[in-house]
Amino acid sequence: MEKFNAFPEKVLNWLIDFGPNLISAIAVLVIGMTIINWASRILSQAMDKKSVDSSLRTFVSSMVSIGLKVLLLITAAGMLGIQTTSFVAIIGALGLAVGLALQGSLGNFAGGVLILIFKPFKPGELIESNGQTGVVKEIQIFNTILLTPENKTVILANGAVSNNTIINYSRHGNLRVDINMAISPSMNIEKAKTVAMEVLKANEKVLKDPAPSVNVLKVGDGMVTLAIRPYADESQYWDVFFSLQEEIKVAFDQNEIEGPIPTRLVINKNQSSTGVLTDD
C-alpha cells in the first residue's frame, strides 16, 4: 500500500523533472515537421519553375523531406535524454554499406539527374549514344529507353550515357541525308551532278532550306564518287534516303550515265603476265 500510495508522487516528480524536455521535444517535432513540409513545397515549386522533370522533382523532394525528418527525430530524441551517438553511427554505417552495394546504381542515378537537369536530349528526339541509335521514348532516373529503327527497345544506363558522347539528330529539327553514288570516270561529271540535283529538287520531301548539294567526294579506284546531300525532316529521313537512291539511279539510266565497272587485278606468280578481269 505504501508503494501504491507513493506512485502518484513519483509520477508527479517525473513529470516535473522530465515534462519540460518532453514538451520541448514535442514542440520541436511539430514546428520542425511544419517547416520541413513548407520547405519541400518551396523546393518542388522552384524546380517546377525551372522546368525540372516531374520524376526528378518528386524524387528529390521526397529524399530531402525524408532526410530532414530523420535529422529532426534524432534531435528530438536527444532533447529527451536519449543517447543518439549510436543511432548516428548506425545510420552512417548503413549509408556506407548501401553506397558500396549500389555504387553502379548511384552512378546511374547521378547520370539521370544530370540528363534531366541539363537536357542534352528529350523524349521524342533521335539520338546516338554508346553505339545505339534510336528515338528516346522515356528518361527514367536510372535508365534511358530508346526505340531503334528496327523497333527494338534499348535500355541504356544513364551513367554510361552521361559519361559518353551523345549525338542528337533532332535538336535542329532536320537531318542531312548522306548518299554516295559512283559513276564511271568516263562520264560527264557536270551532267551527272545536274541530273542528281534535278531529282533532289523534284522530290517533295527534300527541304529547300537548307539547300541540297551535289559534289565530287572522291576520284579514284576506277570511279567518281558523288556526295549527294539533301536535308529532310526527321520523321521522313528514311523515306528520303531510300527513295532518292532509286530515283537518281533511274535518272542516271535515262540520261545514259553509267556506273563504274568493278575490276580485279590478277597476278599470276608462275607466269610473267598479268591481267585485268571485269565483273561483267
Tell me what pLDDT residue 240 has: 93
Question: Looking at residues 152-158, what average pLDDT do you find?
Answer: 93
Tell me what pLDDT residue 207 has: 93
Of 116, 261, 72, nearest in space to 183 by CA: 261
Between 117 and 95, where is the model more confident? 117
Q: Is 217 helix (H, G, I), strand (E, B) or coil?
A: strand
Q: Encode pLDDT of 20-49 as tens digits.
A: 777 888 888 888 889 988 888 888 788 777
Between 38 and 1, where is the model more confident? 38
Domains of the chain in sequence order: 2-101 (1.10.287.1260), 119-168 (2.30.30.60), 174-263 (3.30.70.100)
Cβ neighbours of residue 58 under 8 Å, at least 6 residues apart? 44
Percent of the chain that is helix, strand, coil (3-state, to 5): 50, 20, 25
User: Do residues 81 and 21 lie in contact, with contact meaning Cβ atoms separated by under 8 Å?
Assistant: yes
Tell me what pLDDT residue 157 has: 92
Tell me what pLDDT residue 174 has: 86
Q: pLDDT tier at 201 (50, 70, 90 boundaries)?
A: very high
Could you tell me the pTM of the whole model? Answer: 0.56
Question: Looking at residues 266-270, what average pLDDT do you find?
Answer: 67
Of 8, 20, 144, nearest in space to 79 by CA: 20
Query: Distance (Å, rounded) from C-alpha 182 to C-alpha 240?
Result: 19
